[in-house]
Amino acid sequence: MTGEFGAPAAYIVCMRPQDILLPVAAGLCCKPGGFHIDPVRPVERAVITHGHSDHARAGHGAVLATQETLDMMRLRYGENFAGSTQAIGYGEEIRLGDVRVKFHPAGHVLGSAQIAVTCKDTCIVASGDYKDAPDPTCTPFELVPCDVFITEATFGLPVFRHGDAADEVKKLLASVALFPERAHLVGAYSLGKAQRVIALLRQAGYDAPIYLHGAMETITHYYQSRGIELGELRLVKGVKKAALAGTITLAPPSATSDLWTRRFPDPVTAFASGWMRVRARARQRGIELPLVISDHADWDGLTATIAATGAGEIWVTHGQEDALVHWCQSKGLRARPLDLVGYSDEEESETPLPDGAEA
Amino acid sequence: MNRFAELLDRLAYEPGRNNKLRLITGYFREVGDPDRGYALAALTGALSFKHAKPALIRDLITARTDTVLFGLSYDYVGDLSETVALMWPKTAMAAHNNPPSPTLTEVVTTLRTLGKAELPRQLERWLDELDETGRWALLKLVTGALRIGISARLAKTAAAALGDKDPHDVELIWPGLAPPYPELFAWLEGRGEKPVNRDPAPFRPVMLAHAIENTDFQSLDPADYIAEWKWDGIRVQAVAGRDERGHITARLYSRTGEDITGSFPDLVPSLRLAGAIDGELLILRDSRVQSFNVLQQRLNRKVVSPKLIKEFPIHLRAYDLLGDDENDLRELPFSERRERLEVFIKKLDDPRIDLSPTVPFASWDTLTAARADPASAGAGEDADAVEGVMLKRRDAPYLPGRPKGQWWKWKRDPHVIDAVLMYAQRGHGKRSSYYSDYTFGVWAEGDGGDELVPVGKAYFGFTDEELLQIDRFVRRNTTEKFGPVRHVVHEADKGLVLEVAFEGLQRSPRHKSGVAMRFPRISRLRWDKPPREADRLQTLEKMLKVEAAEIEA
């Protein structure tokens, strides 16, 4: 299945950064390397940063990604999700056409990577989604010095400061102690966020079984198979209502406001997301216990990272580009928004289950 | 302050009353004096200091942040205090030294004495010391915008629960207490005597009635009851008492014990006899009682102008006497209190205060007739302001709360219309998985023929079983989704007709239809009726015309 990436490409003189990486309809295109990063449409050769479905799609000819990302794609799309695949480790470098490609940990979710693309003397880092906060379920973010840094801007406003996730988990546990007769339902994205919340609960000393919505099972077991300690997990399906009093259940965000919740005794609806920082967002969703836990860097994280990369030019994608571009410019950095379409915000939404689906 | 902020934060999201109580009681248990006392004061609206203007908050943030970033953030968050709380950049020194955050007591006592010129610097210091939630609560507190859906009554009930006491007892001693209430907490925790209310004009917890059902009459003997008109005004308690120097103090309380004297200064001179009257606040013009819509012009006013007082003359219609000078009458049977009341009102002899007449009846049939036609049963010209009858047991003492079998309310039949379900929204708390908030409309002539215009929203009135049925209908007939709102099919032949009951109508420029309903609820599901047969806007407009004429009269 390997070898596709060894094919030579036409020789192009790399001078300007936009000659190396350019946004096109299918995604971020590297012409001299002959590949796209996180393409949103099927392409011949795709280099993928992480396993979230808007970045890792099925149907590409060849896919280069970390082993974990490839495994997650396989779990989601089945064996034939791509023509061929090639796994690459953190710190490993590979030559593609006229460029060198190197993967570095992004700290976003298990297997997530920043991709450094170097052509001649110019190094561009496409960071994908990243966070610089500690996370027991994935390799910590690594700072990669570069000339051009492509940053996400999901939480690109100074109002987004995420604080310590451990404090948010304490809030959850305090609520469980105060309302022992109620069930606590925690909405969390099934890939990454859910496992992080579970791991944080374990770190906080919570050793009771944690319940899972059916949609979380596969990916959570995969995390466990990669050696991530999550303690005793049980599926919520088939458990009697009364038995769920005083328990914690993790579910995809869309499920926490649906028919499915009727199996729980007087549930407290929590939601683990960076968006929970803003009250109107939480209230709009009818959340009773907002938990500010994010997979993305907050404002302080974004600005500190940008400054530390030493990059003189910053490209800003998906999220609140305006504020971050403005901040870069006020610091004397060249910055521009990068128009990439097709990346949803997995903090907010996840493909909802059909009404009443048994999960 | 951070702990108090955490409580406010959690309360702001919690929809359930009992859960709110648990959260507040939990806070009182965990936090000591005097912080919890000031928290209780903040929740009951008993704190007083000069509030900071939003402009001051804006100046503080502009001095610390980039204006473009602040602008973008404010646009996104939509609330000034919250934006500032979230984006406040601590000074390098504050970030490094991590100074201890102020206690609630410190904040409250400092604000009380702080000069206007010192406020900005003090606020800045606190903002540096607090966390995000702490800053949010601080800014809400100092700008006087602490809106978190907690009534004073609820906060007092939570305090009572700390010592397993009856909330009425807290209510009774409340007017004699002042923040931070150390003697109250001492009593609640069994460390001290029950505080004594020295207020000369204290509030007494009110007695409420149950709604009577048709089946209730069989077991009731008409001879045991006295009937009165149920007036469509505001239930109040008018209390006058002598202070230590013998001067009369008069206060007007709402049924929840809120002091509303300030809104009705024109009634105060009439409360010159020491006593406590239970009655209805009404507007009288040419000795005729006006509708609730007219009375509404006097509610929630910041300034009570002479013009308002003249155009909407206030009146108290008395139906019970709880105290007569020094004597507490609440243990007496109603029939005796009523006699004392009649004497009291005669002695008072004031044109602004009169007696609510009784409705004579010998059988339930006579009363049914009176309720159906109050005008010819003694209410005369005031009949429009009658919203039913009250039944009070002759031998009932005045008991706080809603005791069984003592008082009954038998409301006039509500107005009903058939409307079409247009939009449904998910409820909150226990109902968060149900589409339980409904927007309904009636037919009106539009540019392209008949169209439905929304006329109101209702989220109760239906049974649990009906809720399930509507929820199922909504899920199966959604045409579009907007976040938590579903657009439900509503065409001439496709859709769900709801029978909506309501108490009255008002003109409202905020609604497209131009009308707003009072107390709308779903009274029946009309699965049998096609939407095309639902009511038209004209029906509502006709009702409006009658009421509007009254307001302007």
Choosing among B11, B18, B72, B147, which should be mutated to test the A contact, i.e. which has the most A CBs within 10 A? B72
Contact at CB, B66 and A266, closer than 8 angstroms: no
Most A CBs within 10 Å, among B76, B83, B131, B434, to test the A interface:
B76
Note the pLDDT of residue B92. Answer: 76
Q: What DSSP letter does each residue of B349-365 carry, written as one string?
A: -BTTEEEPPB---SSHH
Judge contact between A165 and A196, C-beta under 8 A: yes
- Please indicate whether, in this complex, the C-beta atoms of B14 and A261 are within 8 angstroms of each other: no
Query: In this predicted model, what pLDDT tens digit does every residue of A294-338 receive, in sequence order?
Result: 999 999 999 999 999 999 999 999 888 999 999 999 999 999 998
Secondary structure of B119-165 in the HEC alphabet?
HHHHHHHHHHHCCHHHHHHHHHHHCCCCCCCCCHHHHHHHHHHHCCC
Read off the pLDDT of each residue in B127-148 and give the average, rounded to a whole number. Answer: 90
Distance of alpha carbon B135 from alpha carbon B124, whole angstroms? 10
State the nearest Cα–Cα gap between B210 and chain A, in angstroms.
Answer: 28
Is pLDDT above 60 for A347? Answer: no
Residues in chain A, total: 359
Chain B from 72 to 111: CB within 8 A of any A CB: 72-73, 76-79, 82-83, 86-87, 89
Mention every residue, 6+ apart, whose C-beta is less than 8 A from residue B482.
Answer: none
Query: How far from chain centre, in Å, is Cα B15?
Result: 16
Contact B87 A158 (CB under 8 A): yes
CB B259 within 8 A of CB B252: yes
Q: CA-CA distances (angstroms) from residue B376 to A145, B44, B382, B503, B519?
A: 91, 45, 11, 22, 27
Q: Reply yes or no on whether the pLDDT at B171 is more than 70.
A: yes
Query: According to the model, what pLDDT value does residue A356 have?
Result: 31
Are B263 and B417 contacting, i.e. CB atoms less than 8 angstroms apart?
no
A246-258 residue pLDDT tens: 999 999 998 987 8
Compute φ and ψ for A37, nearest 5 degrees: -100, 130
Closest CA to B172 of B184, B158, B185, B190: B184
**Cβ atoms < 10 Å from Cβ of B241:** 20
Residue B549 CA to residue B539 CA, distance in Å, equals 17
B22 three-class SS: helix
Look at residue B413 and tell me whether its pLDDT is greater than 80.
Answer: yes
Nearest-neighbour CA in chain A from B470: distance (Å): 14
Beta-strand pair B314-324/B275-285? antiparallel
- CB A157 to CB B69 under 8 A? yes
Inter-chain residue contact A178 with B69, CB threshold 8 Å: no
Q: With 80 as the cut, is the pLDDT of residue B131 above it?
A: yes
Residues of B in contact with A300 (CB under 8 A): none
pLDDT of residue A314: 96
Minimal CA separation from B353 to chain A, in Å:
46
The whole-angstrom distance between residue A109's C-alpha and the CA centroid of its chain comes to: 5
Question: What average pLDDT does range A286-293 have in this prediction?
Answer: 94
CA distance B176 to B167: 15
Please give the average per-residue pLDDT across A273-298, as a whole number: 92
A-B contacts at Cβ under 8 angstroms: 88
The pLDDT > 90 percentage for chain B reads 65
- Residue A11 reports pLDDT greater than 70: no
**Mean pLDDT estimate for chain B:** 90
Chain B hits for A277, Cβ within 8 Å: 86, 132
Instruction: Decide if A266 touches B, using CB distance below 8 A.
Output: yes
CB-based contact B86 A326, cutoff 8 Å: no
B165 CB within 8 Å of a chain A CB: no
Of B268, B235, B277, nearest to B254 by C-alpha is B235
Q: Give the pLDDT band of residue A350 (cuts 50, 70, 90).
A: very low
Q: How far is A284 from chain B (nearest CA, A)?
A: 8
The answer to whether A157 touches B73, Cβ cutoff 8 Å, is yes
Q: What is the mean pLDDT of chain A?
A: 90
Question: Does pTM top 0.90 for this prediction?
Answer: no
Q: What angle do CA A238, A241, A243 make, to 5 degrees?
A: 90
| pLDDT tens profile B419-469 | 999 999 988 767 778 899 999 999 999 888 899 999 999 998 998 899 999
β A313-319/A334-337 pair status: parallel
Model ipTM? 0.89
A171 vs B contacts (CB less than 8 Å): 6
Of A11, A1, A26, A4, give the one whose Cα is nearest residue A99. Answer: A11
* Residue from A155, A157, A299, A329 whose CB has the most chain B CBs within 10 Å, to mutate: A157
The minimal CB distance from A323 to the residues B26, B69, B429 is found for B69
| Beta-carbon separation of A159 and B73 below 8 A | yes
The reply to whether omega before B180 is within 30° of 0 (cis) is yes
Cα A50 to Cα A35: distance, rounded to the nearest angstrom: 16
Taking only the tens place, the pLDDT of each residue in B337-377 is: 999 999 999 999 999 999 999 999 999 999 999 999 999 88
| Beta strand pairing call for B386-393 and A184-187 | unpaired
With CA atoms as reference, report the closest residue to A52 among A259, A255, A296, A305.
Answer: A296
Q: Which amino acid is at B550?
A: E
